[in-house]
Structure 1
Amino acid sequence: MQLFEELIVNVIDVRGSYYEIGLQQSQELLSIDQTQEKLLLELTNKSNVQMAKQLLQFHSPNLLQEMEGLAIGLAKPLDTVIKMYSGYTITFPDMGCTTFVQNGNYVRNYDFSPALYDARLVFSNPINGYASIGFSQQIIGRLDGMNECGLVVGLHFVNNECNDEGFIASTIVRILLEQCKNIEEALELISELPHGYCYNYSMTDQSGKALVVEASPQKQVTKYENPLMCTNHFETPAMKEKNKKIIEGSLKRKQYVKSLIEKNLNTMAAYQHFNNGNSPLFFKHYKEYFGTLHTVVYSPMLLEVVVGIGEDSEPITFSLKDYLNEALTLPKTLKGRINPVNEV
Structure 2
Amino acid sequence: MEELIVSVVELKGSYPNIGLKQSKEIKTSMLLEQFNLLQTLSTNSNSTKAQEVLKTVSPGILEELKGIANGLEMELDLIVKFYSGYDVSFPPMGCTTFVNDHNYVRNYDFSPELYDARLVFCNPTDGYASVGFSHSVIGRLDGMNERGLVVGLHFVNNHDKEEGFIATTIVRMLLDQCGCIREAVDLISNIPHGYCYNYSITDPSGVGVVVEASPQKQVIRFGKSLSCTNHFESELLQDKNRSEIQGSLKRKEYANSLLKKKLSPISLYYHFNDGHSPLFYKYYKEYFGTLHTVVYSPKDLSLIIGVGENCAPIMVSLKDYLGETLTLPTVIKGKININ
Query: Which TM class, normalised by the smaller chain length?
Result: over 0.9
Separation (CA, whole Å) in 2 of partners of 1:19 and 1:36: 22
TM-score (norm 1): 0.97
SS in 2 for 1:269: helix
Structure 1 match to 2:200: 202
Preserved CA contact (<8 Å) 1:275 1:295 = yes
SS in 2 for 1:175: helix
**Aligned counterpart in structure 1 of residue 13 of structure 2, from 12, 16, 21:** 16
Separation (CA, whole Å) in 1 of partners of 2:316 and 2:160: 38
Structure 1 match to 2:239: 241
SS in 2 for 1:260: helix
Q: CA deviation at 1:262?
A: 1.9
Structure 1 match to 2:190: 192
SS in 1 for 2:296: strand
Mark the runs of 5 or more structure 1 residues left unpaired by the alignment. none
Which shifted more, 184-193 or 30-39?
30-39
**Aligned counterpart in structure 2 of residue 107 of structure 1, from 94, 105, 108:** 105
Structure 2 match to 1:290: 288
Separation (CA, whole Å) in 2 of partners of 1:196 and 1:164: 5
Preserved CA contact (<8 Å) 2:208 2:224 = yes
Q: Identity rate of aligned residues, in percent? A: 60
Runs of 4+ in 1 over 3 A off after TM superposition: 32-35
Q: Which amino acid aligns with 2:212?
A: E
SS in 2 for 1:207: coil
Q: CA deviation at 1:35?
A: 3.9
Structure 2 match to 1:262: 260
Structure 1 match to 2:155: 157
Structure 1 match to 2:334: 336
Q: CA deviation at 1:32?
A: 3.8
Mark the runs of 5 or more structure 2 residues left unpaired by the alignment. none
Q: Which amino acid aligns with 2:313?
A: P
Structure 2 match to 1:166: 164
Preserved CA contact (<8 Å) 1:36 1:115 = no
SS in 1 for 2:260: helix
**Aligned counterpart in structure 2 of residue 232 of structure 1, from 230, 244, 251:** 230
Separation (CA, whole Å) in 1 of partners of 2:29 and 2:51: 24
Preserved CA contact (<8 Å) 2:86 2:164 = yes
Within-5 A mapping of 1:262-341: 262-341=260-339
SS in 2 for 1:223: strand
Q: CA deviation at 1:227?
A: 1.2
Preserved CA contact (<8 Å) 1:154 1:173 = yes
TM-score (norm 2): 0.99
Would you say 1:51 and 2:45 are equivalent positions? Answer: no
1:201-252: CA deviations, max 9, x gaps? Answer: 0000011110100000000000112211000000000010100011000001
Separation (CA, whole Å) in 1 of partners of 2:199 and 2:337: 28
Preserved CA contact (<8 Å) 1:52 1:86 = yes
Within-5 A mapping of 1:77-156: 77-156=75-154
Separation (CA, whole Å) in 1 of partners of 2:127 and 2:41: 29
Cα RMSD (Å): 0.7
Separation (CA, whole Å) in 2 of partners of 1:32 and 1:67: 18
Preserved CA contact (<8 Å) 2:207 2:225 = no
Separation (CA, whole Å) in 2 of partners of 1:225 and 1:270: 19
Q: Which amino acid aligns with 2:181?
A: I
